[in-house]
A and B are shown apart, each in its own frame.
Chain A
Amino acid sequence: MSNIFEYAPAPESRAIVDIKPSYGLFIDGEFVDGTGKAFKTINPATEEVLAEVAEASDADVDAAVKAARRAYTRVWSRMSGAERAKYLYRIARIIQERGRELAVLESIDNGKPIKESRDVDIPVVAAHFFYYAGWADKLEHSGYGSTPLGVAGQIIPWNFPLLMLAWKIAPALACGNTVVLKPAETTPLTALLFAEICQQADLPPGVVNIVTGAGETGRAIVSHPDVDKVAFTGSTDVGKAIARAVAGTDKKVTLELGGKAANIVFDDAPLDQAIEGIVNGIFFNQGHVCCAGSRLLVQESVADEVMERLKRRMATLRVGDPLDKNTDVGAINSAEQLAKIRELSDIGEAEGAERWSAPCELPSNGYWFAPTVFTGVSQAHRIAREEIFGPVLSVLTFRTPSEAIEKANNTPFGLSAGVWTDKGSRILSMANRLRAGVVWANTFNKFDPTSPFGGYKESGYGREGGRHGLEGYLKGEDS
């Protein structure tokens, strides 16, 4: 008998999901045909067309904002917090009940492995609604008053489609706002299924409106005069454009943008767990994570050992069918993103960094990129400065804690950071000196609705999650 333990395919069934051939927009509690043209959403693992989705025109966005305004003035802002909470709890429970369906659909449309959509995305989505449901009748204790802003225009990215929706919608609704939300053009399907869940929960029409589309639709939301608040998660370039567009208006804005997080490994770190943290930091969700630990800063005295262990571990990552329960790394979300990852990786090589990819067989159809690590990277390399947003790790070394801090902070971003050491006092001193919104100690990529999340510098402003996440949706104590 051979010693090869080949895992047989263990696919999660698609039967639970019912994808319609075409989808309209969700406005005022109903699905309506858009007046713009349709676009296609595809399965990035197979390039199969999943559905046609309506692109919302300016007129469609206007209709959605009007519906949101009506629902705000007539129903939602007048409703007691306790009543609003009932709807949010109901939505949270339906998300749990339909969790498998949501997870499978998310993996099909996004390309992320089912083990992540099932064990991370969907449970955290439900937790977010449960958490903010709890705040709805306690806003006077929030420190930010209890007066909502009005209509919130929300634009979310494709990396965590439903989770980003939850981060946006749950606090907005809990505070008494109504929303017009645009999912990313490559991943609209779970947002549209969420619209169905709003119907199932009997949420009053117009409280949640979902308009699909690309950049133009987003622009229409941001520039609509009757939108009181803009919340955006996505690239720094678009974030800057939004900030310019709302300058001079009285719209409130929160932006959650890119990152180039340093994951710092000291020589006294629990090494085996640090390896897991490095892998989780950059290969979780194919590295499509704004807070990904894309720069590994490792102390020189353990650098060789860490690299040896890291490569051995990377060789065990299972890349492939996102619906297979044993898949660790799924498909890159789009051809465009794949091209960007390839381009930056080639630049990394051209600039003199040493490239190593895990030996794995990639499927012939779909968009794939093998987990990759660059060593010999310096601060001057583009792969150490620019967000790649893919499964590509840049490794730099340091000699002293001060050097680690200097290198970690030497970036236009400041969303997250990680520190690995057995020494508690060092964790605290590092956390104080790192200019990053989230600092993880001896772990990475941990998300919880009770914990605020957001960035420094070009990583954006405003916080989402926790009590702090209410601030972006309330007028403040004085009003």
Chain B
Amino acid sequence: MYDDIVRSDSSLRRFLHGLPGVDQVGCEARAAGLGTRSIKTTAKAYAIDLAIRMVDLTTLEGADTHGKVKALASKAKRPDPADPSCPATAAVCVYPDMVATAKQTLGDSGVHVAAVATAFPSGRAAMDIKLADTRDAVEAGADEIDMVIDRGAFLSGRYLDVYDEIVQVKEACGDAHLKVIFETGELQTYDNVRRASWLAMMAGGHFIKTSTGKVQPAATLPVTLIMLEAVRDFRDQTGQMVGVKPAGGIKTTKDAIKYLVMVNEIAGPDWLDPDWFRFGASTLLNDLLMQRTKMTTGRYSGPDYFTLD
């Protein structure tokens, strides 16, 4: 239904620049206002378990080894060895060369393997290399591909190039789900975030994702607010749902709950599901586990009672 819009750079630009603008002050005030919701007792217990189920447990380091990835995958399957009622995370997120290892450990546990591809995190490589990177990860068994957009192209107004790249990567994904990373810390303005969101949704991305985690600021509440508004409006227009994934910088249960409140009140309860909302995080999981244990036992325990990875 967007064929006319994506016909040329200028028609695409007209559409993206015709989207309602974002008032920065108002947007940040709304995000801060939702952040003051007080989530207690039963609501908190619900939110913690939901947040755990939404975590894409991530390791994206040059120092990653097969051992490290195996350990992380075990943790994703059973985050709290002391409590079998604790749910598994949604996925583990690794570089493409670690996909096979992660897959082996996860088996048929239902925990997905997500791989960052397309010359993550900068995206500065030739197109055929980005596509090869994607195919490589999918062949190794990745269920989900986290691609980065070409921010250089986006910022210089070559929207159609960005669109075409997403379409091609999606094709290379086959059955794997595609998450499109904007690196909002480089796009800078909320207007850009809204435009990138529509661009990625029109190109067929299953998820839109804030950041690689390698650039500061990574995920913020107002940026996520804009993306949640975008997926809400996109469904109103097309009937299609797109997921949202803030990644990087979400470290505490308190933060995670603020995001869930925002999902609930901006996009709506349909998005309160790991199929439609994820957290890209590593240290967040242990804080969630610590708070979960506090909810069930009434006591805080120290970090040594939870596994490192």
List A residues at the B interface (Cβ < 8 Å): 1, 3-10, 115, 119, 268-273, 276-277, 316, 325-326, 422, 442-443
Contacts and interface: CB of A to CB of B under 8 A. Distances in A.
Task: Indicate the member of A8, A115, A276, A277 with the most B CB atoms within 10 Å.
Answer: A8
Contacts of A115: 36
Task: Indicate the member of A3, A276, A277 with the most B CB atoms within 10 Å.
Answer: A3
Contacts of A3: 269-270, 272-273
Interface stretch (B6-14, B25-33, B105-113, B124-132): B25-33
Give 6 nearest A-B pairs by CB, closest first: A273-B26, A10-B38, A325-B38, A270-B23, A273-B23, A271-B20
B133 to A, nearest CB: 35
B264 interface: yes
A272 B20 contact: yes
B44 interface: yes
Interface residues of B, number: 31
Contacts of A443: 25-26
Given A1-B50, A270-B21, A6 B26 contact: no
A272 B41 contact: no
Given A3-B269, A5-B43, A316-B265, A326 B22 contact: no
Nearest to A441: B23
B227 to A, nearest CB: 12
Contacts of B69: none
Nearest to B232: A312
Contacts of A1: 46, 49-50
A10 B229 contact: no
A10 B20 contact: no
Nearest to A308: B236
A119 B36 contact: yes
A5 B49 contact: no
Given A270-B20, A272-B20, A325-B38, A5 B264 contact: yes
Nearest to B270: A3
Contacts of A119: 36
A478 B280 CA distance: 68
B42 A6 contact: yes
Contacts of B294: none
B117 interface: no
B37 interface: yes
A276 B23 CA distance: 11
B167 to A, nearest CB: 28
B299 interface: no
A119 B20 CA distance: 30
Contacts of A268: 20-21
B114 interface: no
Secondary structure class of chain B's binding surface, majority of residues: helix
B241 to A, nearest CB: 13
Contacts of B26: 270, 272-273, 276-277, 442-443
B47 interface: yes
Contact of B22 (A4, A9, A270): A270
A422 B272 CA distance: 33
Contact of A4 (B29, B229, B269): B269
Task: Indicate the member of A3, A10, A272, A326 with the most B CB atoms within 10 Å.
Answer: A272
B203 interface: no
A325 B264 CA distance: 17
A4 B272 CA distance: 8
Contacts of A273: 22-23, 26-27, 30
26 contacts: A1-B46, A1-B49, A3-B273, A4-B269, A5-B47, A5-B272, A7-B38, A8-B42, A8-B43, A9-B40, A10-B38, A10-B39, A115-B36, A119-B36, A268-B20, A270-B23, A270-B26, A270-B27, A272-B27, A272-B30, A273-B23, A273-B27, A276-B29, A276-B30, A443-B25, A443-B26
Given A5-B46, A5-B47, A422 B21 contact: yes
B46 A442 contact: no
A6 B43 contact: yes
Nearest to B271: A3
B115 interface: no
Contact of B25 (A6, A269, A326, A442): A442
Contacts of A5: 43, 46-47, 50, 260-261, 264, 269, 272
Contacts of B46: 1, 5-6
Nearest to A9: B40
Contacts of B270: 3
Contact of B43 (A7, A270, A277, A422): A7
B229 A272 contact: yes
Task: Indicate the member of A1, A115, A316 with the most B CB atoms within 10 Å.
Answer: A1
A325 B36 CA distance: 8
Given A3-B269, A270-B22, A443-B26, A10 B50 contact: no
Given A1-B49, A443-B26, A10 B273 contact: no
B271 to A, nearest CB: 8
A405 to B, nearest CB: 22
A169 B29 CA distance: 30
B251 to A, nearest CB: 22
Nearest to B265: A316
Contacts of B20: 268-272
A268 B20 CA distance: 7
Interface string B56-72: 00000000000000000
